[in-house]
Amino acid sequence: MSDLSEAAYCAGWMLGLEFALWRAITEGPQLYGRLAISAQHISQLQALSDDCGGWIVFDDEKEETFMSLDEWRTFYAVHITRMERYT
């Protein structure tokens, strides 16, 4: 995820990264900054998420933080409207 953020914005973790990448998983390939998120990127993200049973989010205090898929899906649904401008 961090590598994709670097490719898109030269930033280790761009604000809203976890939302933008999840949107790509759910909606398909799309442009994110300078990066065209491809089907291959999406496959890799999906496989990693499936393997660990979760998603990584950025927490201001803890930085990169694991969240189970159930927690993430709820979190995403609650916060996506506020984060859409970053995705």
CA distance 43 to 74: 22
Summarised one tens digit per residue, pLDDT across range 23-80 is 999 999 999 999 999 999 999 999 999 999 999 999 999 999 999 999 999 999 999 8
Q: Enter the pTM of the model.
A: 0.92
Indicate the burial class of 22 (C-beta count within 10 angstroms; 0-12, 13-18, 19 or more).
buried
Which of 21, 69, 19, 73 minimizes the C-alpha distance to 49?
A: 69
Domain assignments of the chain as residue spans, ordered by start: 2-86
